[in-house]
Amino acid sequence: MRNVIVLAAICLVAVAAQAAERQPLLQEGKKTLFQRVVTHPGAQIYAGPEDGAQVVKPNVKTFTVMYVYGRQGSRLEVGVASNAAEGWVEAASVTVWPQAITMLFTERTSRSPVLFFKDHDSLVATCTDEKLDARVRQFLDALRAGKSGQPVLQDLPVIAAEPSDEEGAVSRNRFYLMPVLQVDNQFQGTKLVEVASIDPGTGGGAKGVATGPLKPKNAQSQELSTAIAFVIDTTISMRPYIEQALTVVRNIYDALEKSPNKDKVAFAVVAFRNSTEASPGLEYTSKLVSDFKTVTDRESLEQALAAVREATSSSHSYDEDSMAGIKAAVDSLSWKNYASRVMLLVSDAGPLAGSDKYSSTHMDPSEVADYLRANNIWLTAMHVKSPKGQKNHPYAEKAYKSLARMSDGTVSYLAINAATPQSGAAQFEKVGKALATGYMGLVTATAEGKMLQKPAEQPKSEDPEEQARQLAQISGYAMQLEFLGSRRQNQAPGVVSAWISDTDLIALAGNVANPPLSAYPAVLLTKNQLSDLSKRLKIILDEATASMRLGSTGFFQSIISAAAQMTRDPSKFSSAPGLNLSQTGVLGEYLDGLPYTSDIISMTESDWYAKTVGEQTQIINKLRSRVARYDEYDKDRANWESFGSPNPGDWVYRVPLTALP
C-alpha cells in the first residue's frame, strides 16, 4: 500500500511540473519561432498585468532577451526561459526583436570609433555631406568635449560613440548586444543600420555558473603581457625554417634580457605535419614542443626547439594539416595568463581541406579563423613559396588569406619568397624578427603609458619585411586598445534607438578603396537552436552524399523523411514540389528572412540536380566544415550568455552570419 501511495505522489508531482511548464507565444505565421523582446534600462517585472500589481523584480538587467507568454492591456507576460513565465512588463519598456540579429564591433585596427546617430535622416545627411571627414571629426570632438564637461554643440545629431582610442576599445571579453531593427542599403558598399540598444553585460549565470566570457587573469592589471606562439610545419622541406625560428627566438630573448619588461613577453612552439593514419612514418599530426616561456626560462624553450627535427618520410599529400597545428596551439597552450595573444603560422604547403578524410579538425580556414577570433588570438600566416610547390601556391595563398582575415577586412598574410632554401630562410628570419620586435614594442609602449601610433588601413609595401612591421603595428594597436578597454572595463554607450554605419565613415570620406568594416552582423542562437541546426545539416549532408553516390532522384523527399523522424510534429515539413530547403521546413525557421544569401537555404531539388558533381561536392564540403565549427561553438563555455535562465538550452551565442549554412 505504501508503494502505491508513493507512486501516486510521484505521478502527481510529474503532472504538476508538466502543468507548470508553458510555451511562449509563436511569431505570426511561424510554427517553431517564439516571440522575443529586449528590455530597456529601467524595466521592471510585475506580478500581474493590472495597474497597481506588485513589483516582483525591480531591476531587470538592461537589454535582457526575454520570451513573450501573453499580452494584456499595456503589459506583456515574459520570462527568460522558454518553459516558464516570470511576470509582466510594460510594453513600452521593451523592444520587439523578431530575428535576433545583432551587430558586433570589428577589431579596432585602423578604423575610427563608431558614431551613433539619433535618427536616420541625420546619418544620411552626414554620409552625403561634401565635407564628410570634417563633419565626423567635429562630432567626435564634440562628444569628447562633453565628456570633459565642456559645452556641447547645439543640436548635435550624434548621441553616442564608441570609446576613443585613448580610452581603449570595448573589450571583446564582454558580452553586449546591438539588436538590429532596420537596414538601409541605399549606399553601395555601406549599410546604415538601426540598432535598438547596446550595452555590454558581465554574464551573471544561474547557480554560480559564469556565462560571461572568461577574462585573462591579468585583465585588470596595469601591465600588458604578450604571448607569441610559433606554429611550424615540420615536414621534410622545412628544416631551414625550424632553424631560423630558433634564431628569431634567441635574438628576441637577447633583446629582452636588457629590457625592464623581460618577463612580459613569452614564446611557445607547436609543430604539425599530416595524418599519421595515412602516413604512419610522420610520427605525429600535431605536437606541443614547448608551452609559453619567458626569458627567465629561455633555456628550456631553446633546447626543446633545437631538438625539433623535420620528418623523415613524406606525407600522403602536398597539403599539410596546418589547421590541426593551429587548433592544438589554441587548445593546449596557456593563453589565459596573457592579455595579448599572437600566433605565427609557418608552412610551405596549403592546409588540408576540412572535407579531406584525413583532416583532424574538419574545419576549413574560414571556420578556424572564427575559432581564433573567439579565443582573442591574432594570427599571421607566413607562407613559404618555394619553386617545388608552385602549383600549390594559388590554393595555399587563398586558403591562408581566408584564415588570416580579420573581421574588419585586414589580411595578415605574408609571402616568403624562397627561390632557394637559403634565401627563403634568410627572408623568414627577417620577417619573423620584424613581427616579434613589433609586439615587443607594444609591451614597452603600454608599460610606459604611451599610445602606439595609429596605423594605416592596409600594408602598402611590397617588401615582406616592411609588410611584417606594418602588420605588427596594425594588430599591436588593436591589442593595445583591447587591453586598455579591458583594464578600464569600458562599456559601449547604452542607447534605446540609434543609427550607425557598418563602415568607417572617416575612411569612406578619404576615398579608401576598401574602407574597414566597423561592425558586422551575427545572429543570436540558443543552444537548442544550434543543436537543432547541426542535426538538420547532418541530415542534409548524409542525404546529399548518398544522392551523389547512388544517383538517386529522391533527394528532397529523403531529407524531409529523415528530418520528420527527429521531431514529434511531421506537419512542420512539406514535400510539395518546387519548394526550397527553407520552405520545406527542414532548416529551422530561425534562419528565415535573415539579411544574407545562402545557396543552401534557397536551393530546390531541381537546383541540386542542375549542379555539376564538383559544385555539389563544394556545397557538401562547406556544410561539413560548418557542422564542425558548430560543435566547437557548443563547447565554447566562455562565450555563452544565460541572461539568468537556469536552462542551458535557452543560453545564447552570437554566431556570425558568415558562419551560417
What are the tens digits of pLDDT across the range 478-525?
999 989 888 888 877 777 789 999 999 888 887 776 778 898 888 888
Q: Quick one: pLDDT at residue 174?
A: 78
Q: 472: part of which helix (H) or strand (E)?
A: helix 464-488
What are the tens digits of pLDDT across the range 605-661?
777 778 888 888 888 888 899 999 999 999 998 889 888 888 899 898 998 888 887
Does residue 389 share a domain with residue 249?
A: yes
More confident residue, 355 or 603: 355
pLDDT at 285 exceeding the cut of 60: yes
Does residue 245 share a domain with residue 141?
A: no
In a domain, 167, yes or no: no
Q: Is 457 exposed, middle or buried (0-12, 13-18, 19+ CB in 10 A)?
A: buried
In a domain, 450, yes or no: no
> What is the CB neighbour count within 10 angstroms for residue 437?
16
Domain endpoint, select from 407, 429, 451: 429
pLDDT band at 61 (very low <50, low <70, confident <90, very high): confident
- In the 8-state DSSP scheme, what is residue 336? G
pLDDT at 451 exceeding the cut of 70: yes
pLDDT band at 326 (very low <50, low <70, confident <90, very high): very high
Beta strands in 410-528 (DSSP E): 413-417, 498-501, 519-526
Does residue 608 share a domain with residue 565?
A: yes
In a domain, 349, yes or no: yes
Q: Quick one: pLDDT at residue 273?
A: 96
In a domain, 479, yes or no: no
What mean pLDDT is predicted for residues 155-184? 85
In a domain, 77, yes or no: yes
Does residue 330 share a domain with residue 287?
A: yes
Does residue 150 share a domain with residue 60?
A: no
Does residue 188 share a domain with residue 274?
A: no
pLDDT at 348 exceeding the cut of 90: yes
Does residue 197 share a domain with residue 309?
A: no
What mean pLDDT is predicted for residues 549-572? 61
What mean pLDDT is predicted for residues 80-98? 91
What mean pLDDT is predicted for residues 540-565? 69
Does residue 60 share a domain with residue 152?
A: no
Cβ–Cβ under 8 Å, residues 587 and 601: yes
The full 3-state SS of 241-296, as one line of letters, equals HHHHHHHHHHHHHHHHHCCCCHHHEEEEEEEECCCCCCCHHHCCCEEEEEEEECHH
Q: Quick one: pLDDT at residue 566?
A: 53
Q: Quick one: pLDDT at residue 567?
A: 55
- The pLDDT > 90 percentage for the chain reads 41
The model's pTM is 0.84
Domain endpoint, select from 403, 429, 455: 429
Q: How many domains are contained in the chain?
A: 4
| Side chain identity at residue 144, one-letter code | R
Does residue 187 share a domain with residue 77?
A: no
pLDDT-wise least confident of 32-46, 438-452, 603-617: 603-617
Q: Quick one: pLDDT at residue 333?
A: 97
CATH number for position 37: 2.30.30
Q: Quick one: pLDDT at residue 189?
A: 82
Does residue 611 share a domain with residue 533?
A: yes
Q: Quick one: pLDDT at residue 560?
A: 63
In a domain, 15, yes or no: no
Q: Quick one: pLDDT at residue 206?
A: 29
Rounded to the nearest integer, the mean pLDDT of the chain is 83
Does residue 141 share a domain with residue 67?
A: no
In a domain, 413, yes or no: yes
More confident residue, 123 or 637: 123
Identify the CA nearest to 192 among candidates 481, 508, 496: 508
Domain endpoint, select from 98, 130, 151: 98
Q: Quick one: pLDDT at residue 575?
A: 55
Q: Look up the domain containing 283 and give its range.
A: 226-429
CATH number for position 308: 3.40.50.410
Q: Quick one: pLDDT at residue 590?
A: 65
Does residue 396 share a domain with residue 273?
A: yes
C-alpha cell at 623: 556544410
In a domain, 366, yes or no: yes
What mean pLDDT is predicted for residues 442-456? 86
Identify the CA nearest to 608 among candidates 641, 632, 586: 586
C-alpha cell at 643: 541572461
Identify the CA nearest to 624 among candidates 355, 251, 408, 360: 355
Identify the CA nearest to 164 among candidates 102, 221, 115: 115
pLDDT band at 91 (very low <50, low <70, confident <90, very high): very high
More confident residue, 90 or 147: 90
Q: Quick one: pLDDT at residue 320?
A: 96
Distance of CA 39 to the CA centre of its chain: 25
